[in-house]
């Protein structure tokens, strides 16, 4: 059910109990950009200076994915700017930057009563919620879907104003003037943006904006060759020379530093500590007690960390994470737990008369382990809080900090910072709450900025892990069809992770309160990607909500990182059971998905696929993210071989269809980075829990791939005119099953758990 602009909206759907009138008129926002001297703002997206520099506001957090290049590129191409004169700045929080597609996808999290009313990006309810709540979160690869058109319209409008000004000065027909390389051109005449901008900014913006007929795009290069892009990353030079400022690089006058120690995961309260351990040390400027943590502020971070460690904080616990308890929960839930039917194709499970093949798979919890640990800087003075933080959901972090110290959200000023990695960890705002409380307590002596940095151990201890999951898959085969599947049932036992996350993000609940609120709820996003891309006539997808005794979080790839492992491992096992060649077996079942067939064939050529014969060490996997019409596709072949250290993945060959490619270089980086991230999930990244403590406490214990472990990677893109699909999570999803299938080819051993060697070899 969709709500149109003429519809009537019910307040109860948004969480209230009254009938309300919701403004259905298009909303306008004051320009959130503040031009500096000599700058002129055009819409909410760009400023042009009288020296010709075009500055683009980016409302998405840069965390390595290249969004601070992609959106400026779209504006530069539509505007006709010179890329060498394009700059970028983080956008302030504003309803002008509403991420409507993400609000629609997460409608069940902020409007649980009737999420279907806002489940599509073109519904007015999703639009109004995102605008009014200033929801501009960076997640689920929605940057292009949310912001490509607004960026193009803003740039086209500015181009129209510049062109109109030049045409009037020349007395030339408007339609004969055009923008190119930072100039407006007519025949042999040209005027630079710098010469036109002051007068152009006073003109009325054209309505509608005169969009170019061509969409921003770059054509892929056939084969594995890497070509230069006309739009190199804007953040690359500063990241190479070390001048790029991340959240942990903020330095303010008179700043002090805070270290923190948390209790065990998940429900612990501070019960005591040795306050005299660092008595008389003039480097210590404050001891701050939280309900569930202890922090020390000092003139340097090392001294603060040594002090909080020496104070030996003690915690009383009422519930702690235990992996043995989690294992028992899965053992009970997978075969017999109450399930919710999430998706059905054909007759679903009703078509299953026999279980010709059944397999169970499992993934352990994984730690995010971003390069930059949780870092935030705050200054509290005169009832106002300034906050320098890397957040994927800046307005929610701002609201949480305001609530923690009891000030109106309008009195919290958030300066968005880039992150040194996130993998969805920075969707959580626990460190924003902590640094706000620390800054307020320190201000009682005298206001001063304070920077909180979690140690690596605290990042592992206090950060919620990627959810573990178990999958039980079975199928009925077509008699005499040599392994062809007629009906398939996928049953995934997993916590209602998305609802837990939603309770924390939108309702500011603690991990255990969020877990209780989400318990037993059907969670379609927790089984996303479980519907096979193959033309299997009858499929049923079930979610079994599983209480594992501690909270869980989102991670790069999210549900796809385990559902792809379940499905592609199962398909490979079925092929092997009938002696079928894995590539032709998949193609035979793909039905009408010619785009996925092209990916499989292209990957096979890249990898010189030999049929995956015994001992060949080649394994194949493919995956679809999104819908059949507009989704992204990837096929990957992993090649593994034996060496003195056991088994090593020596090559990953991937063919990708992500529709229209805006920036080929960044798309390639995202696929390559996703494949390496998937490799880390395949071989490590996980931990067990005992007494609420992760058993893997250091990066070195996570068995993450180092440079010497990284295989040769070839990526080939398939040219397409479909809408662009974000490539960031495709590689992370497909890599583990491809490697698992390669290991089976190399050893004859079938690995059904992630990490792959958790069962031993």
Tens of pLDDT, residue by residue over 643-697, are 766 678 999 999 999 999 999 999 999 999 999 999 999 999 999 999 999 999 8
**Mean pLDDT, to the nearest integer, of 361-386?**
97
**Mean pLDDT, to the nearest integer, of 597-618?**
91
Q: How far is residue 742 from each of residues 127, 453, 554, 573, 746, measured CA to CA in Å?
A: 45, 41, 27, 12, 6
Q: Angle between the 582-589 and 560-577 helix axes, to the nearest 10 degrees?
A: 110
Centre a 10 Å sphere on the Cβ of residue 337 and count the other Cβ atoms it contains. 17
CA dist., res. 438 & res. 277, Å (int): 20
| Closest C-alpha to 120, from 138, 108, 133, 136 | 108
Burial of 200 (0-12, 13-18, 19+ CB in 10 A): buried
CA dist., res. 156 & res. 32, Å (int): 19
Q: How far is residue 25 from each of residues 35, 102, 124, measured CA to CA in Å?
A: 28, 22, 10
Beta strands in 718-754 (DSSP E): 753-754
173 has a pLDDT exceeding 50: yes
- Count the helices and strands in the chain (H runs, E runs): 19, 28
Q: Is the dihedral of CA 664, 668, 674, 677 positive or negative?
A: negative
264 has a pLDDT exceeding 70: yes
User: pTM of the entire structure?
Assistant: 0.94
Confidence of residue 14 (pLDDT cuts 50, 70, 90): very low
Give the alpha-carbon dihedral of 498, 108, 134, 462, to 10 degrees.
Answer: -20
Burial string for 43-76 (b: 16+ CB within 10 Å, else e) reads bbbbbbbeebbbbbbbbbbbbbbbbbbbbbbbbb
Q: Are strands 469-477 and 293-298 parallel, antiparallel or unpaired?
A: unpaired
Say if CB 585 and CB 477 are below 8 A apart: no
Q: What is the three-class DSSP state of 727? A: coil
Beta strands in 290-365 (DSSP E): 293-298, 314-320, 340-345, 357-363
Tens of pLDDT, residue by residue over 699-754, are 999 999 999 889 999 999 999 999 999 999 999 999 999 999 999 999 999 999 99
Confidence of residue 288 (pLDDT cuts 50, 70, 90): very high
Confidence of residue 199 (pLDDT cuts 50, 70, 90): very high
Q: What is the three-class DSSP state of 322? A: coil
Predicted confidence at residue 704, as pLDDT, reads 93
Predicted confidence at residue 278, as pLDDT, reads 81
Confidence of residue 15 (pLDDT cuts 50, 70, 90): very low
319 has a pLDDT exceeding 50: yes
| Closest C-alpha to 585, from 473, 483, 478 | 483
- Cis, peptide link before residue 208, omega less than 30° from 0: yes
Burial string for 273-299 (b: 16+ CB within 10 Å, else e) reads beeebbeeeebbbbbbebebbbbbbbe
Q: Which of 215-224, 344-353, 391-400 has the lowest mean pLDDT?
A: 215-224
The CA-CA-CA angle for residues 257, 260, 262, to 5°, reads 170
Alpha helix ranges (H) inside 449-559: 456-462, 497-507, 511-518
Beta strands in 563-691 (DSSP E): 618-625, 632-643, 646-657, 689-690
**Mean pLDDT, to the nearest integer, of 270-295?**
93
The CA-CA-CA angle for residues 377, 383, 385, to 5°, reads 20
Which residues, at least 6 apart from 113, have a Cβ–Cβ distance to it below 8 Å? Answer: 12, 13, 15
Question: What radius of gyration, in Å, describes the C-alpha atoms of the chain?
Answer: 27
Predicted confidence at residue 579, as pLDDT, reads 93
Say if CB 638 and CB 194 are below 8 A apart: no
Tens of pLDDT, residue by residue over 387-433, are 999 999 999 999 999 999 999 999 999 999 999 999 999 999 999 99
- First vs last C-alpha separation in the chain: 52
> In whole angstroms, what separates CA 162 from the centre of its chain?
37
Residue count of the chain: 761
| Closest C-alpha to 559, from 495, 506, 489 | 495
Q: Are strands 689-690 and 693-694 parallel, antiparallel or unpaired?
A: antiparallel
DSSP run (H or E) holding 331: helix 323-336
Domains of the chain with bracketed CATH: 11-200 (3.30.365.10), 250-318+369-462 (3.30.365.10), 324-366+466-759 (3.30.365.10)
Say if CB 17 and CB 115 are below 8 A apart: no
Confidence of residue 3 (pLDDT cuts 50, 70, 90): very low
Say if CB 458 and CB 262 are below 8 A apart: yes
511 has a pLDDT exceeding 60: yes
Tens of pLDDT, residue by residue over 220-262, are 876 555 667 789 999 999 999 999 999 999 999 999 999 999 9
């Amino acid at each position: 059910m969709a709500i149109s602009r003429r519809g009537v909206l019910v307040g109860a759907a948004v969480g209230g109990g009254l009938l309300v009138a919701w403004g259905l008129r298009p909303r306008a926002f004051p320009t959130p950009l503040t031009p500096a001297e000599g700058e002129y703002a055009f819409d909410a997206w760009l400023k042009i200076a009288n020296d010709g520099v075009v500055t683009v506001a980016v409302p998405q957090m840069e965390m390595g994915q290249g969004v601070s290049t992609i959106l400026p590129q779209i504006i530069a191409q539509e505007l006709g700017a010179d890329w060498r004169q394009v700059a970028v700045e983080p956008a302030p929080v504003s309803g002008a930057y509403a991420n409507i597609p993400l609000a629609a996808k997460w409608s069940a999290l902020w409007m649980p009563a009737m999420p279907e009313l806002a489940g599509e990006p073109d519904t007015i309810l999703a639009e109004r919620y995102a605008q009014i709540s200033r929801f501009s979160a960076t997640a689920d690869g929605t940057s292009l879907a949310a912001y490509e058109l607004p960026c193009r319209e803003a740039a086209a409008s500015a181009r129209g104003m510049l062109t109109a000004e030049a045409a009037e000065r020349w007395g030339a027909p408007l339609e004969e003037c055009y923008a190119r390389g930072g100039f407006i051109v007519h025949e042999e005449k040209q005027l630079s943006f710098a010469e036109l901008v002051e007068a152009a900014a006073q003109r009325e913006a054209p309505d509608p904006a005169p969009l170019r007929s061509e969409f921003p795009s770059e054509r892929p290069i056939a084969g594995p060759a890497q070509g230069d892009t006309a739009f190199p990353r804007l953040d690359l030079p500063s990241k190479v020379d070390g001048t790029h400022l991340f959240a942990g690089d903020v330095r303010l006058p008179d700043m002090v530093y805070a270290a923190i120690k948390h209790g065990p995961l998940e429900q612990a309260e501070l019960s005591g500590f040795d306050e005299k351990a660092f008595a008389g040390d003039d480097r210590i400027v404050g001891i701050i007690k939280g309900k569930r943590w202890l922090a020390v502020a000092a003139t340097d971070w090392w001294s603060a960390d040594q002090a909080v460690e020496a104070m030996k904080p003690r915690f009383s616990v009422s519930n702690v994470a235990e992996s043995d308890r989690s294992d028992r929960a899965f053992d009970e839930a997978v075969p017999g737990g109450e399930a919710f039917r999430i998706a059905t194709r054909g007759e679903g499970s009703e078509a299953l008369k026999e279980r010709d093949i059944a397999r169970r798979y499992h993934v352990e919890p994984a730690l995010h382990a971003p390069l930059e640990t949780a870092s935030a800087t705050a200054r509290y003075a005169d009832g106002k809080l300034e906050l320098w933080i890397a957040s994927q959901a800046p307005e929610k972090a701002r609201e949480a900090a305001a609530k923690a110290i009891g000030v109106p959200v309008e009195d919290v000023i958030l300066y968005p910072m880039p992150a040194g990695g996130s993998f969805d960890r920075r969707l959580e705002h626990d460190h924003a709450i902590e640094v706000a409380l620390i800054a307020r307590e320190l201000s009682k002596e005298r206001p001063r900025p304070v920077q909180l940095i979690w140690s690596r151990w605290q990042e592992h201890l206090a950060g919620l892990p990627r959810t573990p999951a178990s999958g039980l898959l079975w199928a009925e085969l077509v008699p005499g069809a040599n392994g062809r599947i007629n009906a398939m049932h996928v049953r995934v036992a997993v916590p209602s992770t998305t609802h837990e996350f939603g309770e924390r993000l939108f309702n500011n609940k603690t991990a255990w309160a969020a877990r209780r609120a989400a318990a037993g709820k059907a969670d379609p996003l927790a089984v996303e990607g479980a519907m096979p891309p193959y033309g299997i006539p009858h499929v049923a997808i079930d979610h079994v909500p599983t209480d594992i005794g501690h909270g869980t979080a989102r991670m790069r790839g999210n549900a796809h990182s385990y559902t792809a492992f379940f499905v592609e491992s199962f398909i490979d096992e079925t092929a092997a059971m009938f002696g079928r060649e894995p590539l032709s077996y998949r193609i035979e079942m793909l039905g009408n998905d010619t785009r996925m067939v092209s990916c499989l064939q292209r990957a096979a050529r890249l990898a010189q696929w030999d049929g995956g014969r015994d001992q060949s060490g080649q394994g194949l996997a493919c995956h679809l993210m999104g819908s059949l019409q507009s989704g992204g596709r990837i096929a990957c072949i992993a090649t593994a071989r034996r060496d003195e250290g056991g088994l090593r993945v020596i090559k990953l060959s991937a063919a990708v269809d992500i529709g229209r490619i805006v920036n080929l270089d960044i798309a390639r980086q995202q696929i390559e980075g996703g494949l390496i991230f998937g490799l880390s999930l395949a071989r490590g990244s996980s931990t067990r829990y005992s007494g609420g403590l992760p058993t893997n406490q250091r990066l070195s214990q996570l068995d993450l791939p180092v440079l010497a472990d990284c295989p040769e990677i070839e990526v080939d893109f398939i040219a397409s005119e479909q809408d662009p699909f974000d490539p960031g999570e495709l590689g992370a999803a497909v890599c583990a099953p491809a490697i698992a299938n390669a290991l089976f080819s190399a050893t004859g051993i079938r690995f059904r758990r992630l990490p792959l060697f958790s069962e031993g070899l």
